[in-house]
Amino acid sequence: MLITIPDILSKDEVRHFREVLDTAEWESGSKTAGAQSQSVKQNQQLPVSSDAALKLGQFLLQKLSASPLFLSAALPLRILPPMFNRYEAQETFGVHVDNAIRLNHLTQERLRTDLSMTVFLSEPDEYDGGELVVEDHYGTQEVKLEAGHMVLYPSTSLHQVVPVSRGARVSSFFWLQSMIRSDAHRSMLFDLDQTIQSLAMRLDTGDSEVVRLTGIYHNLIRTWAET
């Protein structure tokens, strides 16, 4: 399940992020690459413990916690601190799959990566190339979103960032462990939750059918959730 979540950051918030990031000192992205991805990763990355990364990352997590669409799609249990990267002339990240287990560098806690996230911080007309290409059950999907929008997709997916040929692609990327391990179960729960919300708008939250479906939704979470 690949889901686009619009306007995680407003245009003013994106502008602030870019003012900080465009004056930051970047390092080679290979420092945080896994064994398989290190040979295909050619980009720049903000040092994970830098003041800029920590402050911007914390702000981004607060915005996510206020997004009903994100919470419905992800059902997050734990989220890794957001990281930031930059792709310029011919920089790329070849086909790879994300590590199954990652370490939270702030808490030293390990978590399973169920979902990968990219928040775009460059407008599409600022750069050529740089599409995020994700392979899933529905085929290959190319993603290049407006600044402030986010894409959420299974960490099990093969994916890549194609080479940038003009300008700079700036984004935040990070992972989460969901309460629901199975992507298929998360997809069903998301569809059910969105249906309930749509019905509640047309009927009433106290309507008997809405109440019954809400009960089914929560009982399925009880059945499948890991905490």
CATH of the domain at 74: 2.60.120.620
Q: Which residues face 120 on adjacent strands?
A: 171
- The pLDDT profile of the chain, 227 residues, written as one tens digit per residue, is 899 999 999 999 999 999 999 999 999 887 666 666 667 889 999 999 999 999 999 999 999 999 999 999 999 999 999 999 999 999 999 999 999 999 999 999 999 999 999 999 999 999 999 999 999 877 899 999 999 999 999 999 999 999 999 999 999 999 999 999 999 999 999 999 999 999 988 887 778 899 999 999 999 999 999 98
Model's pTM, two decimal places? Answer: 0.93
Per DSSP, what are the bridge partners of residue 41? 93
Do 95 and 162 reside in the same domain of the chain?
Answer: yes
Are residues 212 and 149 part of one domain?
no
Beta bridge partner(s), residue 132: 143, 161
Are 91 and 20 contained in the same domain?
Answer: yes
Number of domain units in the chain? 2
CB 150 within 8 A of CB 70: yes
Provide the residue range defining the domain that includes 120. Answer: 3-178
44 and 90 belong to one structural domain: yes
Residues 103 and 200 in one domain: no
Q: 20 is written with which tokens?
A: 């900080």
